[in-house]
Structure 1
Amino acid sequence: MRNEKTHLLFVYGTLRLGESKHGLLEGSRCAVPEACIEGALVDTGYGYPAVRQGTGRVYGEIYEIDEETLRRIDALEDYYGPGDPRNLYERVQTTAGTDRGDIPVLAYVSDRFAGASPIPSGDWKQYRKAKTS
């Protein structure tokens, strides 16, 4: 990491270790390998999930990322800025539960996928692997 501002980012889908977009986190440190946030995980039907507001748990990992990586992830998530109508996902500050207690993290959430299928387990990797086997 460069000597600049860093962020803690909660990832729950294609950015997780072993998933298709994980390479975008190259050079970032996995700060917490197992964490969860509150929400409802859904399958968008496009090969990636989304988190919606809800009362369930969504499982993922937390990475310490720099500003350059944050910009790359913003581009991936079609995030143009707070409240921008072009946003596919909103970047929000939320709380992640970890074995070290609750910590503040950034996460990308979206209510834009009408008809998306719920993923009751809250775990994209588990769901994707079960779907392909």
Structure 2
Amino acid sequence: MARLKQGRKMRYVFCYGTLRAGEINDIGRAAATHGIAAPRLVGAVAVAGRLYDFGNYPGMVAGGGRDLVWGDVYAIDERLVPVLDEIEEVYPGVEGLFVRQRASVELGGRRYDCLYYPVGAHAIADKPRIESGDWVQYRRARTA
């Protein structure tokens, strides 16, 4: 795990939905609201999985098939992780819709060990699939 200039640990996070820039839970705004250093965008990437429409937000189910989910990798101060857990309603010992997991993501010839927040496969039974795998593109087209 890399370190920030202040000696704090840095983590990487893959954001595929409302944590993306300009969305309702924008990761940069979340950091600023809590007085935490701004996340640094590493780049856009696609991860194996499927994306589903939960109404005001998407849910991703990770998978090894050909389907891809598009999102962004950010370098973040480790103090932002509990804030992201709160946004995604991930609490120790409580089974919720989202879970915090890790994924190895390749970007620009380098691998990043990223946190991300998928949903359990049981949660998607009646949810429409987002075929493009891109929440922002889908949401914009839906509201246009």
With the shorter chain as reference, the TM-score category is 0.7 to 0.9
Secondary structure at the aligned position of 1:36 is classed as: strand
SS of residue in 2 equivalent to 1:95? strand
Residue 129 of structure 1: which of 133, 136, 140 is its match? 140
Q: CA RMSD in A?
A: 1.7
Kindly indicate whether residue 27 of structure 2 is the aligned counterpart of residue 18 of structure 1. no
Structure 2 spans left out of the alignment, 5+ residues = none
Which residue of the partner structure matches residue 96 of structure 2? 87
CA contact (8 A) 1:32 1:62 kept: yes
Q: Which has the larger radius of gyration?
A: 2
Displacement of 1:102 in angstroms is 3.5
Aligned equivalents of 1:69, 1:114: Cα separation in 2 = 31
C-alpha contact 1:36 1:97 (8 A) present in aligned 2? no
Moved over 3 A (4+): none
Moved more, 21-30 or 64-73: 21-30
Q: Tell me if the contact between 1:31 and 1:64 (Cα under 8 Å) persists in the aligned partners.
A: yes
Following superposition of structure 1 onto structure 2, how do residues 41-120 of structure 1 map, counting pairs within 5 Å? 41-45=51-55, 47-54=56-63, 55=65, 56-81=67-92, 84-111=93-120, 112-120=123-131
Q: Is the 8 A contact 1:78 1:86 kept in 2?
A: no
State the partner residue of 2:46: 36
Q: TM-score, normalised by structure 2?
A: 0.80
Percent of aligned pairs with the same amino acid: 32
